[in-house]
Each structure stands twice: as C-alpha cells, then as structure tokens.
Amino acid sequence: MRVLPHALLLLAILLLTGCRGTTIDPLVQETYPPHEQRVCVLAGVLPDTIPHVAIANITVKPRGYGGDRKAKAALGKVARRIGAHVVQQTSFGNTMGAPEGYGVAVALTERVPSLPAECEWY
C-alpha cells in the first residue's frame, strides 16, 4: 500500500509542471534568423499589401499566474527566437489561472514603412 502515496506525489508533480511550455509547429522548411526587435502581436491578420509568409503556429503556456499580457510577451519572445516579426490570429485563455496564448508567426519578406495600428508591441 506504499505505492499509493508515491503515485499521488507523481501525479501532483505532473499536474504542476508537465502542462506548461511552448509548442512551435513549422509551416515552412525555411528558417529565419532570430532578432531583437519588438514583435507585433495582432488579433487579426496582416493585410495582403504587406509582403509576408506564415512560418509557424505557436502555442505558449508561461509558468505561473497572469493575464493575456504575460502570454502576449511569451508569444513575442518565441517569435523573435524563430525570426518572426508578427504574430497574427492570436487568441488567449487560461488553465487554472495560468495564461495560454496561440498565434501564427509571420516573417516579413520586405521592409515595410509601417504595420497596422492594432499591433501590440512585445
């Protein structure tokens, strides 16, 4: 009967630590260099007049509690790491109070004078 306490401890550890993290699902074979610029986090999509390519679907689940801002900051950090300039089609939620964010990472294929005013910069 000593197995039950150990099983409960293992289950508790998995519940507290195993559900957080980042998922990157590439949409193209090309890779893009990481950068240190701010990233536009956008609920909608970029207009067709801005040349871009969708490079990955991103899911972030930052550790700890927090709102959408924490998830948006995590999306921006991951986007910079994979060379994206924009994360579009974003959605946010939470599991047991911990934030989650989803979006499509986009790399700009040409320099553009400006991005949509709806951008939130992270």
Ranges of beta strands (E only) in the chain are 21-26, 40-41, 52-61, 86-95, 98-108, 120-121
Percent of the chain whose predicted confidence (pLDDT) is above 90: 75
For residues 50-71, give the mean pLDDT. Answer: 94
Question: Cα dihedral angle (117, 35, 45, 113), rounded to 10 degrees?
Answer: 50
Q: What is the CATH architecture of 20-121?
A: 2-Layer Sandwich (3.30)
Average pLDDT along the chain: 87
- List pLDDT tens digits, range 65-100: 888 999 999 999 999 999 999 999 999 999 888 999
Q: What does the domain layout of the chain look like in residue ranges? A: 20-121
This model's pTM is above 0.85: no
- List pLDDT tens digits, range 24-36: 999 999 999 999 9
Q: In terms of Cα–Cα distance, which of 90, 107, 119 is closest to 50?
A: 107
